[in-house]
Amino acid sequence: MFEPDEAFFLNLINATNATLADAQGQATIVNDDPLPIVSIGPAFRTEGSSGTSNTTFTASLSNATYQPVTVNYATADGTATAGNDYVTAAGAITFNPGEVSKTFGVPIIGDTLDEIDETFTVSLSNAANATLGTAQAVVTILDDDGPTISLNDINVTENDSGTRNATFTLLLSAASPQGVSVSFSTFDGTATAFSDYVRAFDRFAGVPAGQTSATFNVQVIGDLRIEADETFTVRLATPSGGTIADGEGVCTIVNDDAPGSFQFGAAAYSVNESGSAVVTVSRTGGRSGVVTVDYSTNDGTANAGADYTASSGTLTFNEGEASKTFAVPITEDSSDEEDETVNLILSGPTGGAALGTQNTAVLRIIDDDATRVRFSDATYTAAEDAGRVVVTVTRGGDTSATTTVEYATLDDPSAVRCDDTATMPGVAFARCDYATTIDTLTFAPGERQKTFIVPLIDDAHVENNETVQLKLSNPIGGVLDTQNTALLVITNNDAPGAPNPIFSSEFFVRMQYLDFLSREPDQGGFDAWLGVLNRCSNVNDNPDCDRNHVSSSFFRSREFQLKGYFVFLFYKAAFNRRPEYVEIISDMRAMTGQTTEELNQKRAAFADAFVRRTEFAALRGLPPQAYVEALLGRYNLQQITTENPARPDDAAEVTLTRQQLIDQLAAGALTRAQVLRAVVQSREVDAVEFNGAFVAMQYYGYLRRSAEESGYQAWLNHLNTNPGDFRTMVNGFMNSEEYRLRFGQP
SS3 120: strand
Give the whole-angstrom CA distance, residue 535 versus residue 585. Answer: 32
Is the pLDDT assigned to residue 30 strictly greater than 60?
A: no
pLDDT band at 69, cuts 50/70/90? very high
Q: What is the mean pLDDT of residues 627-642?
A: 95
- For the four alpha carbons of 561, 562, 567 and 570, in that order, the dihedral sign comes to positive
The CA distance from 207 to 463, in Å, is 45
Domains of the chain: 37-142 (2.60.40.2030), 148-254 (2.60.40.2030), 261-366 (2.60.40.2030), 372-498 (2.60.40.2030), 506-740 (no CATH)
Q: For residues 173 and 145, give the distance between their C-alpha atoms in angstroms, rounded to a whole number.
A: 12
How far, in Å, CA of 594 to CA of 602, rounded?
Answer: 11
pLDDT in tens, 75-122: 999 998 998 989 999 999 999 998 989 998 899 998 777 677 889 999
Amino acid (1-letter code) at residue 267: A
Which of 298-307, 579-588, 624-633 has maximum average pLDDT?
A: 624-633
Using the CB atoms, write b or e for 529-568: b if 16+ within 10 Å. bbbbbeebeebeeeeebbbbbbbbbbbebebbbbbbbbbb
* φ and ψ of 393, to 5 deg: -120, 130
Residues 272-298 have a mean pLDDT of 86
Over residues 353-374, the pLDDT tens digits come to 899 999 999 998 877 667 889 9
Nearest Cα to Cα of residue 432 among 459, 405, 455, 467:
459
Task: Give, in degrees to the nearest 5, the angle at Cα 725 between 724 and 730.
Answer: 120
Q: Is the confidence at residue 147, as pLDDT, over 80?
A: yes
Per-residue pLDDT band at 25 (split at 50, 70, 90)? low
Angle (nearest 5°) at CA 17 between 13 and 23:
30
- Is the pLDDT at 528 greater than 70? The verdict is yes
User: In this model, does residue 3 exceed pLDDT 70?
Assistant: no
Q: Taking a C-beta distance cutoff of 8 angstroms, is the pair 475, 441 a contact?
A: no
Greatest Cα-to-Cα distance within the chain, rounded to the nearest angstrom: 145
Question: In sequence order, which residues have a C-beta less than 8 Å from that of residue 404 and are 6 or more positions away?
Answer: 440, 441, 442, 443, 475, 476, 477
- In terms of Cα–Cα distance, which of 247, 250, 219 is closest to 154? 250
- Report residue 37: phi and psi, to 5°: -105, 130
Mean pLDDT of the 323-347 span: 84
Q: What is the pLDDT of residue 385?
A: 92
Q: How would you label 150-162 residue by residue, b for 16+ Cβ within 10 Å and e otherwise?
A: bbbebebbbbbee
pLDDT class of 31 with cuts at 50, 70, 90: low
- SS3 assignment for 495-530: CCCCCCHHHCHHHHHHHHHHHHHCCCCCHHHHHHHH
* Strand ranges across the sheet with 277-284: 323-328, 277-284, 261-264, 354-355
pLDDT at 28: 63
Q: Which amino acid makes up residue 457?
A: I
Mean pLDDT of the 395-406 span: 89
Give pLDDT, residue 272: 79
Number of neighbours of residue 700 by Cβ within 10 angstroms: 24
Asked if 49 and 72 touch (Cβ cutoff 8 Å), the reply is no
Instruction: Report the Cα 559 to chain-centroid distance in Å.
Output: 8
- Average pLDDT for 257-278: 84
Residue 406 · residue 439 · CB < 8 Å: yes
Contact 585, 700 (CB under 8 A): yes
pLDDT attached to residue 368:
65
Distance (Å, whole) CA 214 – CA 234: 15
Reported as type and span, the H/E element at residue 288 is none
Confidence class of residue 667 from pLDDT cuts 50, 70 and 90? Answer: very high
Q: What is the pLDDT of residues 411-431, one digit of tens each?
A: 988 888 988 888 999 999 998
Q: Name the CA dihedral angle for 58, 62, 65, 70, rounded to a multiple of 10 degrees.
A: -40
Q: How far from chain centre, in Å, is Cα 198? A: 35
pLDDT, residue 410, reads 93
Instruction: With cut-offs at 50, 70 and 90, classify the pLDDT of residue 2.
Output: low
Residue 8 burial (CB count, 10 A): 9
Q: What per-residue confidence (pLDDT) applies to 33?
A: 55
Q: What is the pLDDT of residue 29?
A: 60
Q: How confident is the model at residue 600 (pLDDT cuts 50, 70, 90)?
A: confident
Give residue 325's pLDDT. Answer: 93
Mean pLDDT of 513-532: 92
User: Which amino acid makes up residue 175?
Assistant: A
What pLDDT score was predicted for residue 567? 93
Per-residue pLDDT, 473 = 94
Weakest-pLDDT range from 314-328, 524-538, 548-562, 570-584: 548-562
Q: If we measure between CA atoms, which residue out of 113, 244, 85 comes closest to residue 176?
A: 113
Residue 484 has pLDDT above 60, yes or no: yes
Across 331-420, the runs of DSSP E, i.e. the strands, are 340-347, 354-355, 360-366, 372-375, 379-383, 388-396, 403-410
- Listed in sequence order, the residues at least 6 apart from 111 whose beta carbon sits closer than 8 Å to its beta carbon are 47, 49, 50, 145
Q: What is the CA radius of gyration of the chain?
A: 36
Q: Which pairs count as long-range contacts for 348-351, CB under 8 Å and 24+ apart, including other chains?
A: 348/292, 348/293, 348/294, 348/314, 349/261, 349/262, 349/291, 349/292, 349/293, 350/291, 350/292, 350/293, 351/259, 351/289, 351/290, 351/291, 351/292
Model pLDDT, residue 575 = 95
Q: What average pLDDT is seen over the chain? A: 89
Pair 199, 193: CB distance under 8 Å: yes
Residues 472-501 as b/e (b if ≥16 CB within 10 A, e otherwise) read beebebbebbebbebebbbebeeeeeeebb
137-141, 253-257, 337-341, 671-675: which has the minimum mean pLDDT? 337-341
Residue 19: per-residue pLDDT: 74
Average pLDDT over residues 441-453: 94
CB atoms closer than 10 angstroms to residue 28 = 9
Residues 6+ apart with CB under 8 A from 3: 31, 33, 65, 66
Q: Is there a contact between 83 and 90 (Cβ–Cβ < 8 Å)?
A: no
- Lowest average pLDDT, out of 230-239, 327-336, 393-402, 652-661, goes to 327-336
Q: Tally Cβ neighbours within 10 Å of residue 309.
A: 12
- pLDDT tens for each residue of 35-54: 889 889 888 777 777 888 88
User: How many C-beta atoms surround the C-beta of residue 426 within 10 A?
Assistant: 11
Of the candidates 412, 477, 397, the residue with the CA atom closest to the CA atom of residue 441: 477
Q: Are 129 and 68 in contact (CB under 8 A)?
A: yes
DSSP string, 695-741: HHHHIIIII-SPPPHHHHHHHHHHHHHSTT-HHHHHHHHHT-HHHHT
pLDDT of residue 630: 95
Please name the helix (run of DSSP H) or strand (run of DSSP E) that holds residue 249, with its range, or none: strand 248-254
Return the closest-CA partner of residue 386 out of 454, 436, 469, 462. Answer: 454
| Closest CA relative to residue 435, chosen from 447, 452, 450 | 452
According to DSSP, the β-strands at 37-40 and 131-132 are parallel
- Report DSSP state, residue 578: P
pLDDT at 507: 94
Q: Are 85 and 143 in contact (CB under 8 A)?
A: no
Phi/psi for 595 (5° steps) reads -135, 165
DSSP-based three-state secondary structure for 584: helix
Candidates 546, 566, 586, 579; CA nearest to 699 is: 579
For the stretch 54-64, pLDDT in tens is: 888 899 998 88
